[in-house]
Amino acid sequence: MGAKRLTVRRGQLFYLRLSFSRPFQSQSDHITFVAETGPKPSELLGTRARFFLTRVRPRNVWSASDFTIDSNSLHVSLFTPANAVIGHYILKIEISQGQGHSVTYRLGTFILLFNPWSPEDNVYLPSEILLQEYVMQDYGFVYKGHERFITSWPWNYGQFEEDIIDICFEILNKSLHYLKNPAKDCSQRNDVVYVCRVVSAMINSNDDNGVLQGNWSEDYSKGVSPLEWNGSVAILRQWSAGGGQPVKYGQCWVFASVMCTVMRCLGVPTRVVSNFRSAHNVDRNLTIDTYYDRNAEMLSTQKRDKIWNFHVWNECWMIRKDLPPGYNGWQVLDPTPQQTSSGLFCCGPASVKAIREGDVHLAYDTPFVYAEVNADEVIWLLRDGQAQEILAHNTSSIGKEISTKMVGSDQHQSITSSYKYPEGSPEERAVFMKASRKMLGPQRAFSPFLDLLESGGLRDEPAQLQLHLARIPEWGQDLQLLLRIRRVPDSTHPQGPIRLVVRFCAQALLHGGGTRKPLWRHTVWVNLDFGKETQWPLLLPYSNYRSKLTDEKLIRVSGIAEVEETGRSMLVLKDISLEPPHLSIEVSERAEVGKALRVHVTLTNTLMVALSSCTMVLEGSGLVNGQITKDLGTLVAGHTLQIQLDLYPTKAGPRQLQVLISSNEVKEIKGYKDIFVSAAGAP
């Protein structure tokens, strides 16, 4: 954070040596220390403290103690309480003799942060291993893609870069709370719950001049695509240099990663969490409805409810003194602007324990987060604009593979069990009913789904359908699938053959869970004898999807099988995440502070088409000052690109180099290299 300034954590001692023009007389020279922060500092508001020299340090209050006198010098230990307001402080002393007039001197400034190492602080985390991971680690990963194809995105948090701490407090000072009442806002910065909510609102710009402007339109021509950010530092610096104008553009993983930088910088243990198939349940009825027609096309809807392919938020570690006992620990904070909370676009902190137990009455925004991981999905068949048949009622398809970075590892870790009991278990269903009663109330709203359930609308099916990939799906290649159908007994046709017509449709899958227009259709007719199984190969040519996908390269293949004897329909789905080409990053020698480090980046274009307008961006705290950008031109299909460059590390210890190569065809070819940097002159 910079060696030229004093930065301390609350609940921590720091030491001063004061030099005087004459010998200090402790009996007659009276010294009062004054620490002030924010506008109009006030002892009543907790933004001003006056304290005196004492031999013994009192517990958890501002104090100056353990002093020694050496001729014209005074050595003294200063202590800040673990519940002090965080921020930039001015430290002064008032000196007087006897009852005489006092003289005030300004000693200097210091920055006070939360202290997760102090048992007295509400962010105390009693594990050094976890503290190194969730406070000190300045790089990490965001997990994206699909529950079955989770991809790791390296991210440069960079919370200890020199100017980031000032930008973090600039964020607090541009919040609507501060603009409305600066003195009151500063006085509440001793409360981690309050600070988290302010930061959650300020990372997005829906209400204010927050850090990032969200954009889910796929048109990023007026800014930077969310896929092209490598880390938080460039975003925060651009926001500050622009006078607080929102940076274009962000989506959930960018919002959450920037918030992680800010909270770790302020001293709050924080991690980034990905929830795959994440519900956005606006009407709070704990069901998300999706619709298909008889040709297997997923239809758009006017409803605001949706299921994100994945959604990314934060967890911050804290003691919740505002809640009943038992809800301390990890708390969900979500800076992505999805809904308002107390009038602002922010979310949390919601206790992860409260979510798991269905205690949705507890603050803040627990019902919304509970639905994100627990809502049921109801899939309807639409005929003539009317929902006429339930194709599936999935009680376990939402809230899958909730993941974060594993401590001390580059791998992801599933933390789903922290959010809910095992799917389908008695505990999970009991918690779901408990939360439903609290969220829906005694007067349950009209629901065609509930009516259909009561009328026996869900029946057993005469066949089981599955779609499998015949090989690893790569962007630029034809996709080979295999349909497996097995005839099983059902109440309508316990035995005997059936005839199916299966209509397939492939659509580009959007991050928000919606789809584009169909890019491929196919129909097969199947005669299926009782107890038999058949397989049917399917081919989705590259030419069909080449120009039809979003930057995220996701395809949903849907199939509706209609039983000719009964007219009943069955649904089969397969989401496909296409693999981009892979980067190789190597370093040729030992890394040392101040010495040139040769880096080799290699990319082979394994696609059937050229990659045009290729650009490479390198980033990594302690390795690169800001970013390095290179234009690489066009990479012809089948050819290999090799780049060599020298870096000059500035910080010792474990570091991570992040590399992004983007092109017109593929926006997100990412790679990283973990590098240990030795101190200058180390053997």
Question: CA 232 to CA 430: how far, in whole Å?
Answer: 41
Q: How many CB atoms lie within 10 A of CB 111?
A: 21
Q: Can you say whether residue 671 is alpha, beta or left, with left for phi > 0 and alpha for psi between -120 and 50 degrees? A: beta
* Known binding-site residue numbers for Ca(2+): 374, 376, 423, 428
Question: CA 348 to CA 365: how far, in whole Å?
Answer: 6
* Known binding-site residue numbers: 374, 376, 423, 428
Residue found by looking up tokens 């194709």 in the block: 391
Q: Which is the catalytic residue, given 334, 359, 365, 575?
A: 334
8 A C-beta contact, residue 265 and residue 160: yes
Tokens representing 679 are 């101190």
One-letter amino acid of 197: R
Q: Which is the catalytic residue, given 168, 186, 196, 252?
A: 252
Supply the Cα-derived Rg of the chain in whole angstroms: 30
Listing DSSP states for 535-599 in one string gives EEEEEE-HHHHTTT--TT-EEEEEEEEEETTT--EEEEEEEEEPBPP-EEEEE-S-EETTS-EEE
Question: CA 632 to CA 145: how far, in whole Å?
Answer: 27
Residue found by looking up tokens 């324990």 in the block: 353
Q: How many CB atoms lie within 10 A of CB 508?
A: 19
Angle between helices 252-266 and 233-241 (to 10 degrees): 80
Question: CA 51 to CA 43: how far, in whole Å?
Answer: 11
Q: Cα-flanking dihedrals φ and ψ of residue 74, to 5°?
A: -125, 120
| Residues, the chain | 683
Q: Which is the catalytic residue, given 311, 412, 493, 522?
A: 311
Q: How many CB atoms lie within 10 A of CB 635?
A: 21
Between the two ends of the chain, the Cα-to-Cα distance in Å is 27
468 is catalytic: no
8 A C-beta contact, residue 421 and residue 428: yes
Question: CA 49 to CA 93: how far, in whole Å?
Answer: 11
Strands (E), 215-297: 247-250, 270-280, 287-292
Beta strands 479-487; 463-469: pairing state: antiparallel
Q: Cα-flanking dihedrals φ and ψ of residue 614, to 5°?
A: -75, 135
121 is catalytic: no
Give SS3 for 94.
strand
Q: How many CB atoms lie within 10 A of CB 46?
A: 19
Handedness of CA 621, 627, 628, 629 (dihedral sign): positive
CA proximity to 149, closest of 598, 574, 507: 574
Handedness of CA 451, 307, 140, 607 (dihedral sign): positive
- Residue 406: alpha-carbon gap to chain centroid: 15
8 A C-beta contact, residue 513 and residue 306: yes
Question: CA 527 to CA 197: how far, in whole Å?
Answer: 59
* Helix, strand, coil % over all residues of the chain, rounded to 5: 15, 40, 40
Question: CA 264 to CA 195: how far, in whole Å?
Answer: 12
One-letter amino acid of 483: L
Q: How far is CA 534 from CA 430, 479, 484, 496, 560, in A?
A: 39, 20, 6, 15, 17
Contacts of 120 (CB under 8 A, 6+ apart): 11, 60, 81, 82, 83
280 is catalytic: no
Active site residues: 252, 311, 334
